[in-house]
Structure 1
Amino acid sequence: MTTTRTSTPRHYLMCSPKHFEVSYEINPWMDVTRATDTARAVRQWENLRATYLAWGHTVDLIEPIPGLPDMVYAANGATVVDGLVYSAKFTYPERAAEGPAYQKWFADQGFVTQTAAETNEGEGDILMVGDVILGGSGFRTAVAAHAELAALTGREVVTLELVDPHYYHLDTALAVIDSDPASPLIAYYPPAFSAASQAVLAARYPDAIMASASDAVALGLNAVSDGRRVVVAPGAVDLAAQLRERGFEPFGVDTSELLKGGGGAKCCTLEIRRAQP
C-alpha cells in the first residue's frame, strides 16, 4: 500500500548565479579548464526557482556579489533552526566572504544570528530530519561545529563522517525526503560514509532509501523535498523510481551547468525554518 504524502509550505533563500564561473578548484567536480556557460546556469536556476514558486513556496533572494561565484550555492551560507541563524565559516579562503554576506542578509531581515566559532558550511553539512540534526564531517565541517550547534539549538546533532571526496558535503550524499518527526525518511549513498556512520544511519533509519552509484554520481541526492514533491537531478532515475514507490512525486530539474561547480538543486536552496508558534 502506497503512503499518501503531504506537501507543506516552505520558505527558501536563493542567490542568482549571474556571476557563476569555475575560476578555482576546491572539489573534484570543479575543472578550471572546462568552459562554463553563465547564461545557461541562470536559466537552470530560474527554472528551479519557478518550480518552487509554482508549488506555492516562498523564495527570497540575496543579491549575488561579484567575485563570489559559489554564492549561488545558498545552502552553504547558513543554517536556520527555529528562526535562529547559525552562520557559515568556510574552509577555503575562496569562499570565506560568503558567510558574512549571508549573515548580514539575515540580520537585515531581523533574524537573530549567531557567528560561528567553528568551521562549518551551513546546510551543506547540516540537515534537519524531524527533530534531529544530522551533521556531516570529514571534508568541510568540523565536528566541533556539531557541538556548537547542539548547544545553540538544544537539539540532538548526530555526527556522520564522509569519506569520498566526490561527496564532500552531507547534502551530496544524503537527502531529507520527509522531515515529519513522526515518520522521518532519508535517502543516502552508503559508500560515501565511513563504516561507523553507515551503522548509525542503518540503526536510526532502517526504512531509508538506498541510492545507487548512478544516482550518486548524477548528484541525485542533492534533492529538495516538500514532503510530497521532490526535486531531483534528471539523471537519478533509480532514486526517482524508489520515490514513486514510496508515494512521492519526483520532478527532474536540470542543474547540470551548476554541477560544474559541484552543486545541484539542494545546494542552491537554503531553507528558512522559523520558530513554531
Structure 2
Amino acid sequence: MNALPVDTRPPPRAGRRRYLLCPPEHFAVEYAINPWMDPAQPVDRGAALRQWEGLAAVLRGLGHRVELLEPEPGLPDMVFTANGATVVAGRVLVARFRHPERAGESAAHLRWFTAAGFRGVRTATEVNEGEGDLLVAGPRILAASGFRTTAAAHREAQRMLGLPVVTLELTDPRYYHLDTALAVLDHDRIMYYPQAFSPASRRLLRRLYPDAILARAADAAAFGLNAVSDGRHVVLPDAARGLAEQLRAAGFEPVPVAVPELRKAGGGPKCCVLELRSEGGPS
C-alpha cells in the first residue's frame, strides 16, 4: 500500500466555536424519509443519549461553547440541530423542512434564536434544510439541491445571509444532505465524496478545491463526511478510519466519536451540531 501524501503547508489552526445541540430525549425512528431509516429496526434511546453526551463532551473538551435546544415530544429528529437553521455573522435563516414529519422543528428553532437575542432571524420561504444543505466555507456558502433544499432556496439564502452561494447537485439518495457528502475543514479546504455529486458539480468542486481530500466509498458510507471541524480538529465517526488517516496526513487532527444509534436515522456528528456564527468571527 502506497504511503499517503503529506501536506507541507503550515499546520491548520483551531478556532473556538459556539454550537447548538439538542439532547435526543425523544429520539426514535418512526418514519422513513431517507434510505438509512427503517422503523422496523430497534432503536436504543438510552444508548443514543449516551453517545450524544459523548459528542457534546468532546466538543466542550476541545474548548468550544455548547448551547442546548430543549427537545420537544413528537419531534424525534430534533437531535439533528444542523438541519434547523444557517447562521452567518449573527443573521439566522431558519429552515423550512421538505417533509411534514420535521416541520415542527422550524418553530422550535425560531423560538430559541429569538429568545437568545439573535437579530435578523427569519424563517425561509423556500424549502431549505439549514446546515444540512448550506455549508459556510470561508467566503462562500456551498449549497446542495437534488433531494431536500431547492435551488430557489439557494437564491434566498444568498439574499438573506449575504454570502455568494455555489450550487451543487446531489445524485445519490444515500447522501441526501450536503453534510453527508462534504465537510468544510477550514477557510479554504474541504473533503468530499465525488460519486455523491453530478458530473458538473464534480468539475466545479475540482476547480474550486483542487487540493480537497477525496473520501473513499467505505468512509462515505460510514458517514465519515458528516464531520465537525474547528479548523484543526475534525470530529468524525470512528468507523471512518481511512478518512482519519487522510486528515492526519493533511495536517488535521481527527477526533473519532461513536454515534451508531443516531446513524439509524441517517445522522452523524455534524447533523447534531449547528454552528452559531457571531458578527465578530466564526464563533
Same fold judged by TM-score > 0.5?
yes
TM-score (ref. length: structure 2): 0.95
Pairing 1:257–2:261 present: yes
Q: Which residue of 2 aligns with 1:239?
A: 243
RMSD: 0.9
Do the aligned partners of residues 201 and 67 (structure 1) sit closer, same or farther apart at CA in structure 2, a change above 3 Å counting? Answer: same
1:116 CA displacement:
0.8
Contact 2:140 2:164 in 1 (8 A): yes
Counterpart of 2:191 in structure 1: which amino acid? A
Contact 2:237 2:268 in 1 (8 A): yes
SS of the residue 2:109 aligns to: helix
- How many Å separate the matches in 1 of 2:94 and 2:146? 19
1:154 CA displacement:
2.3
Work out the number of aligned pairs and report it: 273
Give every structure 1 segment of 4 or more consecutive aligned residues whose post-TM-superposition deviation is greater than 3 Å: none
- How many Å separate the matches in 2 of 1:2 and 1:146? 33
Q: Which residue of 1 aligns with 2:59?
A: 52
1:115 CA displacement:
1.7
Q: Which residue of 2 aligns with 1:103?
A: 110
Pairing 1:129–2:133 present: no
Equivalent position to 1:31, from 18, 32, 38: 38
Q: Which residue of 2 aligns with 1:120?
A: 128
Percent identity of equivalent pairs: 56
Q: Which residue of 2 aligns with 1:3?
A: 10
**Deviation by residue 1:191-229 (Cα, 9 ceiling, x = unmatched):** 100011111101000000000000100000000011111
1:2 CA displacement:
5.5
Q: Which residue of 2 aligns with 1:165?
A: 173
SS of the residue 2:30 aligns to: coil
**Deviation by residue 1:67-113 (Cα, 9 ceiling, x = unmatched):** 10000000001000110110100000000000111011001111120
Equivalent position to 1:64, from 51, 61, 71: 71
- How many Å separate the matches in 2 of 1:228 and 1:158? 24
Contact 1:3 1:246 in 2 (8 A): no
Counterpart of 2:215 in structure 1: which amino acid? A
- How many Å separate the matches in 1 of 2:34 and 2:26? 19
Counterpart of 1:238 in structure 2: which amino acid? G
Counterpart of 2:277 in structure 1: which amino acid? R
- How many Å separate the matches in 1 of 2:144 and 2:106? 18
TM-score (ref. length: structure 1): 0.97
Q: Which residue of 2 aligns with 1:206?
A: 210
Contact 1:2 1:245 in 2 (8 A): no
1:153 CA displacement:
2.2
Counterpart of 1:262 in structure 2: which amino acid? G
Question: Which runs of no fewer than 5 residues in structure 2 stay unpaired?
Answer: 1-7
